[in-house]
Amino acid sequence: MSNSKPPILDLFGEPDINFLAETIATPKEKNIKKKITLAKKDLVKNTETLAKKQAGITPDKNIQQAFLPGLSRRGRPRSKNPISAVERTAEHRRKRLAEGSKRVEMILAPEVARQLEALAEQYKEPRSEVIATLVTKAYLKVFKAKPTKGSVSKPDQI
């Protein structure tokens, strides 16, 4: 009664030559194989990064929509006086400040953030509107005040 292991077979029922070579290999051969595999991995990484760089340079040949002159990427007409994104955001910030809006930064616990996201998805409103509605409702409960015209557009929603 011998405890010999059954032969290792490949997908087609033939003895797996590659596996047998690995089991018989000496430590020197193993080191050489490791170096070869590491070199192959480095080569693959280098080719992938090169391919990504080249893909960024050349436009995609499988673009669904052809270029339309006078339209932006999103299909909107191009402005005759283009405005940079920095200027646009600064203008929106100025408008909000002129209206009296204040920017508040909050750090929420993960479960509270998930609940806020769920409320925003439920009512299909931005998170800022959901927070504004909640703060206004809390204010009205505490001070039993009447809602003002510009406080919240839909206070009964939440």
DSSP per residue, 39-75: HHHHHHHHHHHHHHHHHHHSPPTT-SS---TTB-TTS
In this structure, are residues 72 and 78 in contact, taking their beta carbons and an 8 Å threshold? yes
Q: 138 or 34: which carries more pLDDT confidence?
A: 138
Cα distances (angstroms) measured from residue 105 to each of 57, 108, 131: 38, 10, 12
Q: Lowest mean pLDDT of 1-5, 45-49, 95-99, name the range.
A: 1-5
Q: Lowest mean pLDDT of 11-20, 33-42, 75-84, 89-98, name the range.
A: 11-20
Specify the 3-state DSSP secondary structure of 10: coil
Angle 110-123/127-143 helices, nearest 10 degrees? 100
**In the chain, where are the structural domains located?**
13-43, 105-158
Quote the pTM value.
0.38
Mean pLDDT score, 52-69: 58
Token representation of residue 44: 């693959």
